[in-house]
Amino acid sequence: WHISPVKFLIHLLAHYSNYEKMPRPATPLPFFGSRRVGGQGKAFPTLMLLLASFIFLAYCTHPVMGCSKKSASDVQRLLSDEIKGPTLTTKSARRTQFLTWVAQHNLTYNSLEEKEARYEIFVFNVKRLEDYNHTDILRYRLLDMTDREYDDNYRCLDSFENQNIHMLPMDHRLTDLDPSELPDSIDWRDEDVLPPIRDQGDCDSCWAFATVAACEAAYKMTYGSPEYGSEQQVIDCNPAGRNCETGGNLYAAFSYIMDGGGLLGKDEYPYTGNTGQCKVNQSMMDPVIAIDDYFFVPQGEENLKAAVSMQPIAVGISSSTAFMMFWGSSIFSGPCGSDLNHAMVAVGYGTEPTGDYWILRNSWGLNWGDKGYVKLARGISACGIGTYGRYPRILDSE
């Protein structure tokens, strides 16, 4: 049993006030004495106040249980009905934090009502991040999204890969990987073969971005100079009908690039973030990148490690809100989603004191994760990594 000495003292003061209003007995109360001051019996309240003071002082001077600053604030809170809920300073600081974040990410809202609703979601998500001791929280651009909105807008890999992974054409299955004698670590960012990080926006086009990035990296490794292909072309023109609304898969993207004559430049066919009509004139096709084949990496993290040691690999993962919304430079190991629902590019692997990891490249801009990249735990099949990977072979221009 425990009660704050402050509360105990306040309760005694309240009883003292009630005691003063009580009718006094004609004869002195036994035990407490019969001394009267000014015709009123004061022995009981005097003894009670002395007892309360003794208890309060004893509590405050105790080396473990002693009074703290919180006790002082408790007094103010208990004695004033005006202090209820978060202080104005706390609310003001949170509001300023929200407005700073909105400006940082160039966001606009359709109405004050929507802005206020987004503010409440923002506060909820920021508190979740603070519970994980995250720093630099305002870098995350999805802080005003609910979990349901995330599921609807940012899970862009369709079910084809899950349902047909064992039915893929045999001539595209890679069988000559040797997982032995691989380097302990590799980071293709250090080799200057990767294109700049891009942002898919609200279009469910992760599959197109991952495929094009893998082709761009392979081209740079082959020819030494960069070329940047058009994700919008893949979205608009793939014959499988995959687009911003339906999502897509790596099989459809690689097949289109190989069979459709290659990729136009991203400036020639710019990204809009929406599904459009195909604008490719096949008879006048002059691609900046073309491939003559693509391969499926056999399942297993050791096989993926062997493939990544050769070049960046487009991969699928089972993402989750925690992984895609909240994790940055630390190694993530779960929780994950229940199926393959997002496409990224595996651009390296390594080890640090906290464990082995993969380096994955996303398509959500520089403000996500660690400047567009994230580390995923390696060796435990985290988030389905190693389930499948795809990579292209660049067409020889000779």
Task: Say how many C-beta atoms besides its own lie within 10 A of residue 88's C-beta.
Answer: 8
Helix (H, G, I), strand (E, B) or coil at 41: strand
CA–CA separation, 255 vs 84, rounded Å?
62
Helix (H, G, I), strand (E, B) or coil at 26: coil
Residue given tokens 């990224």 in the structure block:
344
206 belongs to the catalytic site: yes
CA–CA separation, 158 vs 388, rounded Å?
14
172 belongs to the catalytic site: no
Task: State the catalytic residue, choosing from 125, 156, 203, 206.
Answer: 206
C-alpha distance from residue 262 to each of 149, 207, 252 (Å):
34, 16, 13
Residue 265 is given by DSSP the state B
Residues in the chain: 398
Task: State the catalytic residue, choosing from 203, 215, 362, 383.
Answer: 362
Q: How many CA atoms lie within 13 A of 35 on its CB side?
A: 8
125 belongs to the catalytic site: no
CA–CA separation, 326 vs 369, rounded Å?
8
CA–CA separation, 353 vs 278, rounded Å?
49
Sign of CA dihedral 166, 167, 170, 171: negative
Task: State the catalytic residue, choosing from 203, 215, 342, 383.
Answer: 342
Query: Residue 51 has which token pair?
Result: 């007892």
CA–CA separation, 231 vs 280, rounded Å?
13
Query: Residue 309 has which token pair?
Result: 């040691």
- Which distant-in-sequence residues (6+ apart) come within 8 Å of 11 by Cβ? none
Query: Residue 362 has which token pair?
Result: 């996303």
Residue 213 pairs in a beta bridge with none
Checking DSSP bridges between strand 313-317 and strand 389-394, what pairing results, if any? Answer: antiparallel
Helix (H, G, I), strand (E, B) or coil at 245: coil
Of 368, 292, 293, give the one whose Cα is nearest residue 325. Answer: 368
Q: Note whether 235 and 208 are within 8 A (CB).
A: yes
Q: Which positions are catalytic? A: 206, 342, 362
